[in-house]
Chain A
């Protein structure tokens, strides 16, 4: 059972454009939602995370929007740069157990 569904699988955006990645979850016990960035041959790097008590969190060019009632959250990458070309994973976890449940990933290509 895929508890976190991520879309799209891939996207291409022009330099300076906005990349938007969406995730939906099923388990209402999840209470922490991180996004990870992964470059080829590397491990995932924690990018930004949100708790369900806030609807938006911004760090630099990266913004998470969270809709608790819809059980959805999204990552916006503003002013996308070629260096942002990577695979992005959303994830979710709950306090007990602490295992991360990942989405399937979105491969982002930023064209110069």
Chain B
């Protein structure tokens, strides 16, 4: 069984640019959540996708957007990057026919905005 994978591992962007991060959920998992983890802090919920529909959103501006594909993989897009967007972006997937409590995280994408 393959775990949650994310790409790329690291990324450096300039303020104002746009970025797309990718996540492949664990086999059989149809729910994907994205989190932002600033250095030295706990992850903060960005949004969740269930069966290709957004299923909840945290306190993040609209320039953070996402997609989920029929194979349950997902993308996180961030427009107009700001310096404060520098963080580890984590994807987590959940098993089952409906959203479940357990969430399994990928290794993350380290985004640096200069």
Within 8 A of B (CB), among A81-110: 89, 91, 93, 95, 97-105
The reply to whether B56 and A99 form a contact with Cβ atoms under 8 Å apart is: yes
**Does residue B40 face the partner (Cβ distance < 8 Å to A)?**
yes
Binding site for B on A (CB under 8 A): 4, 6, 32, 34, 36, 41-46, 49, 89, 91, 93, 95, 97-105
The reply to whether A99 and B102 form a contact with Cβ atoms under 8 Å apart is: no
Given A102-B44, A104-B41, A97-B56 contact (CB < 8 Å): yes
Name the residue in A6, A42, A43, A91 with the highest tally of chain B Cβ atoms < 10 Å from its Cβ: A43
B102 is contacted by which of A6, A49, A95 (Cβ under 8 Å)? A49
Minimal Cβ-Cβ distance residue in B for A33: B101
Give every chain B residue within 8 A of A103 (Cβ-Cβ).
Answer: 42
**Does residue B33 face the partner (Cβ distance < 8 Å to A)?**
yes
Within 8 A of A (CB), among B63-114: 90, 92, 94, 99-108
Within 8 A of A (CB), among B33-50: 33, 35, 40-45, 48
The reply to whether A99 and B58 form a contact with Cβ atoms under 8 Å apart is: yes
Minimal Cβ-Cβ distance residue in B for A99: B45
Give every chain B residue within 8 A of A34 (Cβ-Cβ).
Answer: 101-103
B33 is contacted by which of A46, A99, A104 (Cβ under 8 Å)? A99
Minimal Cβ-Cβ distance residue in B for A107: B40
Give every chain B residue within 8 A of A46 (Cβ-Cβ).
Answer: 102-105
The reply to whether A42 and B101 form a contact with Cβ atoms under 8 Å apart is: no
* A34 to B4 Cα, complex, angstroms: 18
Give every chain A residue within 8 A of B104 (Cβ-Cβ).
Answer: 46
